Amino acid sequence: MLGTMCLADLLLPHRCPVCREPGPALCGRCAASLPAVPALAPPPGLDACHAITAYRGDGRAVVAALKFGGSSGIVGWGAIELARRVRDGPPVEIVTWVPTTPAHRHQRGRDQAEVLARAVAGAMGLPAARLLRRLPGPPQAGRSATERRLGPPLAAARPAPRAVLVVDDVVTTGGSVSAAARALRAAGAGIVVAAAFARTPPATAHGGRGGA
Ligand SMILES: [Zn+2]
């Protein structure tokens, strides 16, 4: 089965998730040709929203490698790339993540947003902390577009520091990171910045292919 082969490839630690050549987590050639991040304003409530790639084409393969392969190579590569982008934006003092549903966490054995957030924190020399908790509710995937835009039900797990970086694997509608920003601001944060592997332009946007 193709699916099985892809999964096996993703699980190999030193193989490019896009072209499958042996080598670093993502080879230089594929890293350089990832689709450009759509030039969009940050989702509501965010001071900035950083991403490495658009969520399409090879960008999707990179996110799949993060979600289902979970190799430290792809996480480490993504953390360094995101840390570089975050340093160019509003300064943050702590890193947290959008917690996944308990079902997803159980299915994958981990929360990939937490894994990525802790790696980004390590790359930036910042602390990572669980600042958000997920309230009971359906997973994003089973909800309508309008519901998704509102984001998952999130609440602060503790008082939030002044400037927070919130990490997720993909920013699609922006609902999840906006919900995180609302909860963090309600808990005391004044600056909230988002970082994700990939970002999708809204369906209503046009001309999002350029990176300018
Ligand atoms: Zn490659």
Distance 51 CA to ligand 1 centre (A): 19
Q: Which residue has the tokens 């340093």?
A: 87
Distance 9 CA to ligand 1 centre (A): 12
> What single DSSP character describes residue 76?
H
Distance 24 CA to ligand 1 centre (A): 9
Question: How far is it, in rounded angstroms, from Cα 178 to Cα 149?
Answer: 9
Tens-digit pLDDT profile for residues 134-170: 988 766 666 677 776 777 889 999 999 999 999 999 9
Task: Characterize 23-33 residue by residue with b for buried, 16 or more Cβ atoms within 10 angstroms of its Cβ, and e for exposed.
Answer: ebbbbeebbee
Distance 31 CA to ligand 1 centre (A): 7
Both structure tokens of 27: 């080879």
Average pLDDT, the chain: 84
Q: Which residue has the higher pLDDT, 104 or 125?
A: 125
Question: How far is it, in rounded angstroms, from Cα 106 to Cα 18?
Answer: 27
Share of the chain above pLDDT 90, in %: 55
Average pLDDT (106-124) is 89
Check residue 64 and give its pLDDT. 87
Residue 211 has pLDDT above 50, yes or no: no
Distance 182 CA to ligand 1 centre (A): 38
Check residue 129 and give its pLDDT. 97
Q: Which residues are in the CB-under-5-Å shell of ion ligand 1?
A: 16, 18-19, 27, 30
Tens-digit pLDDT profile for residues 156-208: 999 999 999 999 999 988 999 999 999 999 999 999 999 999 999 656 444 44
